[in-house]
Amino acid sequence: MPSATYQMIMQAMRTRQQVLCMYQGFARALCPIILGHSGGRERVLGFQFDGGASRGLPPGGQWKCFDISGMSEVELREGRWHSGRSHSQPQ
């Protein structure tokens, strides 16, 4: 059974809403693109367009893969959909 956060992200993808959350001590804003499982864990590939990151966030944003169990304070909001340039790394 998918977690409540997984289901929220699924809703965000269907309605093209932004996801706001805390992850590894940083507030993040992202647009989820791919939702699934890796190594038995729920994961999401998204384009992070705002917020912080341990190595900083480049201007314009960056593709990132998130472990859903590490996300907290998750909420959805209306706003412009961000997808950045094409994603080229295997997932």
- State the pLDDT at residue 84: 75
Residue 72 resides in a domain: yes
Question: What are 13-67's pLDDT values in tens digits?
Answer: 999 999 999 999 999 999 999 999 999 999 999 999 999 999 999 999 999 999 9
Residue 31 resides in a domain: yes
pLDDT over threshold 60, residue 89: no
Residue among 82, 81, 75, 79 nearest 21 (CA): 75
Q: How far apart are CA 3 and CA 52, in angstroms?
A: 25
Residue 84 resides in a domain: no
- State the pLDDT at residue 91: 45
CA dihedral 11, 36, 71, 80 (to 10 degrees): -50
Question: What are 55-67's pLDDT values in tens digits?
Answer: 999 999 999 999 9
pLDDT category, 86, cuts 50, 70, 90?
low
Residue 89 resides in a domain: no
Question: What are 4-14's pLDDT values in tens digits?
Answer: 999 999 999 99
Domain that holds residue 59: 4-77
Residue 48 resides in a domain: yes
